[in-house]
């Protein structure tokens, strides 16, 4: 169920009003808010008049659901969002829920399987490094079998959180939602780089082929050549069409769920600066403007996410 508060409207509000035995006008006004606060006080929930996950669970548990009282579904319902729960162990994230005001976009710098990404986080539970969602993509080998392309996995339940920004224990870190796109990220042509005894060393390879930072060859169709270099690299592993479609759907869902204006932040900065918006790094800028941001907007050493034209087009369409 989506989070509801004053001025919320629609079917979810009607369902809430039905369960609380109120007039079913579909508008979250003073009467509905007062009834919610009364219930929150009765069951020792934070009395804020907002119907979030904990309040919804309490209402459904203590007020039996009457299916015949639920308003009918729209004649043309929107396609449902498919999110598969694949939760981390409880000790791999911070369980205490937080209010969400920011969404940060990342890529994994690795293989396309989102399950393995979450499994890897779980094996290092003590670090508590993870994002709430991971969206699968395509293999660098451009194989035709990509069962996880566009699949959305949820790793952290109930508005918990984990470290994902590298900016320390501050409000924006605790109150942001991280979304990972599986992607190798930066790619080089004719060589790859590795550290030897602490120094970056260039390993020369076939000058007509592309390579990940680990030296694996990348199929040409999985390479996104950028018009201008981004963080010193001209090629990146392409975010797939299905990934970006799933990301757009998830962003809209989270906007409704958490009352986040997803037109603000990076999308608005793109309107002013174009692809250069991804280069701008200012944690304070992000703190001052809740909305969507890239990991690159808070860390100069990061390359996630890259300014792929299709990603930019999607963000501007929100």
pLDDT bin (cut points 50, 70, 90) of residue 76 is: very low
Q: 196 or 157: which carries more pLDDT confidence? A: 157
Mean pLDDT, range 68-77, rounded to an integer:
44
Highest mean pLDDT among 33-37, 75-79, 284-288: 284-288
Is residue 70's pLDDT more than 60?
no
Conformation bin of residue 62: beta by default, left when phi > 0, alpha when psi is -120 to 50 = alpha
- Cβ-proximal residues to 81 (8 Å cutoff; 6+ apart), any chain: 152, 249, 250, 253
Is residue 249's pLDDT more than 80?
yes
Which pLDDT score is estimated for 257? 93
Q: For residue 287, with 0-12 CB atoms within 10 Å meaning exposed, 13-18 middle and 19 or more buried, which class applies?
A: middle
Are residues 97 and 45 in contact, defined by beta-carbon separation less than 8 angstroms?
no
pLDDT bin (cut points 50, 70, 90) of residue 42 is: confident
Superfamily (CATH H level) for 83-184+239-316: Peptidoglycan recognition protein-like (3.40.80.10)
Which pLDDT score is estimated for 40? 85
Mean pLDDT, range 220-245, rounded to an integer:
96
> What one-character DSSP code corresponds to residue 159?
T
- Domain 11-69 bears CATH identifier 1.10.1330: no
Q: Count other C-beta atoms under 10 Å from residue 277's C-beta.
A: 22
Percent of the chain with pLDDT over 70: 94
Which pLDDT score is estimated for 41? 87
Give the predicted TM-score (pTM) of the model. 0.75
Rounded CA gap, 229 and 225, in Å?
9
Is residue 144's pLDDT more than 50?
yes
Rg of the chain over Cα atoms, rounded to whole angstroms, equals 22
Structure-token match 């299916």, residue found: 67
Q: Count other C-beta atoms under 10 Å from residue 308's C-beta.
A: 20
Are residues 93 and 154 in contact, defined by beta-carbon separation less than 8 angstroms?
no
List the chain domain ranges.
11-69, 83-184+239-316
- Directed axis angle between helix 53-62 and helix 30-42, to 10°? 80
Per-residue pLDDT of 80-126, as tens digits, reads 789 999 999 999 999 999 999 999 999 999 999 999 999 999 999 99
> What one-character DSSP code corresponds to residue 110?
S
């Amino acid at each position: 169920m989506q989070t509801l508060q004053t001025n919320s409207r629609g079917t979810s509000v009607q369902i809430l009003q039905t369960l609380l035995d109120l007039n079913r006008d579909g508008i979250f006004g003073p009467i509905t808010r007062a009834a919610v606060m009364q219930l929150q006080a009765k069951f020792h929930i934070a009395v804020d008049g907002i119907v979030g996950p904990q309040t919804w669970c309490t209402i459904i548990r203590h007020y039996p659901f009457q299916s015949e009282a639920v308003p009918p579904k729209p004649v043309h319902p929107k396609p449902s969002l498919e999110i598969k729960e694949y939760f981390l162990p409880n000790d791999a994230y911070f369980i205490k829920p937080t209010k969400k005001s920011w969404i940060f976009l990342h890529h994994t710098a690795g293989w396309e399987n989102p399950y393995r990404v979450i499994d890897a986080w779980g094996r290092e539970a003590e670090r508590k490094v993870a994002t709430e969602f991971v969206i699968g993509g395509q293999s660098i080998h451009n194989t035709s079998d990509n069962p996880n392309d566009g699949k959305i996995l949820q790793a952290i339940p109930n508005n918990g959180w984990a470290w994902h920004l590298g900016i320390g224990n501050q409000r924006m870190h605790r109150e942001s939602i991280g979304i990972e796109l599986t992607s190798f990220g930066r790619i080089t042509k004719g060589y790859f780089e590795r550290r030897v005894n602490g120094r970056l060393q260039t390993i020369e390879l076939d000058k007509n082929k592309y390579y990940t930072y680990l030296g694996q060859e990348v199929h040409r169709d999985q390479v996104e050549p950028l018009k201008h270099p981004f963080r010193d690299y001209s090629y990146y592993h392409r975010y797939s069409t299905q990934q970006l479609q799933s990301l757009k759907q998830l962003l809209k869902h989270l906007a409704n769920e958490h009352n986040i204006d997803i037109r603000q932040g990076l999308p608005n900065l793109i309107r002013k600066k174009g692809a250069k918006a991804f280069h701008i790094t200012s944690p304070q800028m992000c703190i001052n403007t809740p909305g969507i941001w890239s990991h690159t907007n808070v860390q100069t050493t990061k390359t996630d996410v890259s300014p792929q034209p299709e990603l930019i087009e999607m963000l501007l369409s929100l």
